[in-house]
């Protein structure tokens, strides 16, 4: 009996080697669900599957249900232009893809995750020669994905008493990652609280509520993006229980 098949449009977020010739491909489909499949023979040089299963690309795939893992039978690249071609740019996409792999689940519909991931990759692919802009989109995307997954921070109302006052520019504020945001000076400081520049907190808030077009207009500098990314790294670790390895690469690569 022929295996049951189904078609998906999906973003390729991870490729893992399987034996000598095969790959396990992890994707997030249009419904926002995580889909894994074996691409048989995809590591053979010159194989058509290998060429079409590019990391961070959007593909139309024909899948066959398998006993443990489904099988990727046919693949068509949907948008060749939206694949980042420079190392700086693919390094900015990698943490977004890795985070999507943490928060997406098989059979869990979160279509906003797919839309956000695809839009972020396309924007970053467009940032040729503008690595600072790509870094800002990366920072915005990580916070947006966390907010979308139920871990939106509260920075202006204090998470303990609800007061709306943040200290002024140039000052620092206590942030408790575990309690979910900023704690004002009048409230007892939680044990895990760290002091963060008010500017960094303001950037996080602005990035979460801004569209990618607006993020590009801010012309955020690299240092500010790295501060926002450091806070995102702590946030992601506390709320997903995992470290983004590709974010560590971004910090240590010296590319920016």
Q: Site residues (CB under 5 A) for Zn ion? A: 158, 160-161, 184, 187
Q: Are strands 5-18 and 22-29 parallel, antiparallel or unpaired?
A: antiparallel
We find the least distance from the C-beta atom of residue 164 to Zn ion, in angstroms, to be 10
* Mutual angle of helices 87-103 and 131-148, in 10-degree steps: 0
We find the least distance from the C-beta atom of residue 153 to Zn ion, in angstroms, to be 15
Partners of 5 in the β-ladder:
64
We find the least distance from the C-beta atom of residue 197 to Zn ion, in angstroms, to be 19
Closer by beta carbon to Zn ion, 105 or else 165: 165
Closer by beta carbon to Zn ion, 161 or else 195: 161
Closer by beta carbon to Zn ion, 98 or else 179: 179
Closer by beta carbon to Zn ion, 83 or else 158: 158
Closer by beta carbon to Zn ion, 85 or else 164: 164
Query: How far is the C-alpha of 204 from the C-alpha of 199, rounded, in Å?
Result: 9
We find the least distance from the C-beta atom of residue 35 to Zn ion, in angstroms, to be 43
Cα 208 to its chain centre, rounded Å, is: 13
We find the least distance from the C-beta atom of residue 207 to Zn ion, in angstroms, to be 24
Residue nearest to Zn ion (CB): 158
Q: Are strands 34-39 and 58-64 parallel, antiparallel or unpaired?
A: unpaired
Query: How far is the C-alpha of 112 from the C-alpha of 91, rounded, in Å?
Result: 22
Strand, helix or coil for residue 122: helix
Closer by beta carbon to Zn ion, 131 or else 173: 173
We find the least distance from the C-beta atom of residue 138 to Zn ion, in angstroms, to be 31
In which residue are the tokens 């871990």 written?
Answer: 151
Q: Quick one: three-class SS letters along 70-129?
A: EEEEEEEECCHHHCCCCHHHHHHHHHHHHHHHHHCCCCCCCHHHHHHHHHHHHHHHCCCC
């Amino acid at each position: 009996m022929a295996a049951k098949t189904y078609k998906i449009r999906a973003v390729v977020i991870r490729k893992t080697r399987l034996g000598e010739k095969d790959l396990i491909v992890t994707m997030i489909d249009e419904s926002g669900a995580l889909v894994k499949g074996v691409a048989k023979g995809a590591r053979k040089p010159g194989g058509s599957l290998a060429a079409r299963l590019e990391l961070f690309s959007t593909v139309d795939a024909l899948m066959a249900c398998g006993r443990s893992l489904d099988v990727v039978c046919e693949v068509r690249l949907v948008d060749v232009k939206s694949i980042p071609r420079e190392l700086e740019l693919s390094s900015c996409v990698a943490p977004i893809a890795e985070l999507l792999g943490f928060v997406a689940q098989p059979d869990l519909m979160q279509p906003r995750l797919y839309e956000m991931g695809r839009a972020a990759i396309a924007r970053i692919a467009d940032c040729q020669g503008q690595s600072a802009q790509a870094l800002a989109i990366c920072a915005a995307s990580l916070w947006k994905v966390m907010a979308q997954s139920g871990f939106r921070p509260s920075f202006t109302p204090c998470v303990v008493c609800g007061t709306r006052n943040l200290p002024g520019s140039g000052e620092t504020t206590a942030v408790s990652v575990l309690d979910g945001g900023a704690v004002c000076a009048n409230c007892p400081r939680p044990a895990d609280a760290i002091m963060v520049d008010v500017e960094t907190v303001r950037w996080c808030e602005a990035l979460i509520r801004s569209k990618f077009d607006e993020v590009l207009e801010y012309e955020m500098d690299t240092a500010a993006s790295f501060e926002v990314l450091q806070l995102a790294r702590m946030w992601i670790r506390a709320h997903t229980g995992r470290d983004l390895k590709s974010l560590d690469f971004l910090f240590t690569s010296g590319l920016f």
